[in-house]
A and B are shown apart, each in its own frame.
Chain A
């Protein structure tokens, strides 16, 4: 299974998470978002970028409650709350945003 980014194919697993994290691009993020029926706004990008920074620093994709707590701290409580995060990513902020950010499925997602 693969995404098609301008003719280049990027492998993903059965849930849609890409296999090789280094193949991520912004164009790919838009394609994954479309498949997830998420329309990317600046707010979505802020969360996606936050996740990529978190992964870079800690080498894990955070669990949803850790994500929301951390976002609250760095982007403020108007973004970092359950309701708003689920509005942005209806199928789960951690799961969906990680997929779009090209990261593995979050650790602690049970």
Chain B
């Protein structure tokens, strides 16, 4: 790593289906992961629905890409911040989200959780700390 490493935050605010934003964001994250950057993802507003478990897209005829979030750990994307208030406003809790983990190579491949629930104040701080914020 060199001093050119920048802090990138991808902000996800939209429901997973109905628009292309969620899928595009995920693809940009996966492609961008090839460049050694310090990547975080934020999920707020309807964006929290992107991480819910038990998604079923059969009736709307589009691909269910929610399993792909589980691959983020392989791409060394290990920091997914979910806003507590956004969950609560939609009647959701941490239990409604997929369990996402990453394997720590330096710790005998121990599985560690990727999702961190933070409140609105912490989210604001997180955003303020970034070099680049990309909104989807």
B74 touches A62 (CB 8 A): yes
A107 touches B34 (CB 8 A): no
CB distance from B122 to the nearest CB of A (A): 29
CB distance from B18 to the nearest CB of A (A): 19
Interface residues on B, range: 10 to 19
Distance in angstroms between the alpha carbons of A57 and B74 in the assembled complex: 13
Question: Which residues of B have CB within 8 Å of A59?
Answer: 63-65, 67-68
A60 touches B34 (CB 8 A): no
* Residue A7, interface by CB 8 Å: no
Question: Which residues of A have CB within 8 Å of B74?
Answer: 62, 66, 69-70
Counting residue pairs across A and B whose Cβ atoms lie within 8 Å, the total is 37
* Residue B71, interface by CB 8 Å: yes
Distance in angstroms between the alpha carbons of A63 and B71 in the assembled complex: 11
A57 touches B67 (CB 8 A): yes
A108 touches B70 (CB 8 A): no
Question: Which residues of A have CB within 8 Å of B31?
Answer: 107-108, 110
In the complex, which of the residues B34, B63, B109 has the most CB atoms of chain A within 10 Å of its own CB atom?
A: B34
Contacts A58-B71, A69-B74 given: A63-B64 contact, CB under 8 Å?
Answer: no
Contacts A66-B75, A108-B75 given: A60-B30 contact, CB under 8 Å?
Answer: yes
A58 touches B67 (CB 8 A): yes
Interface flags for B23-44 (1: CB within 8 Å of A; 0: not) read 0000100110110000000000
Q: Which residue of B lies closest to A60 (CB)?
A: B68
A62 touches B34 (CB 8 A): no
Interface flags for A13-55 (1: CB within 8 Å of B; 0: not) read 0000000000000000000000000000000000000000000
Q: B: which residues have CB within 8 A of A?
A: 27, 30-31, 33-34, 63-65, 67-68, 70-71, 74-75, 109
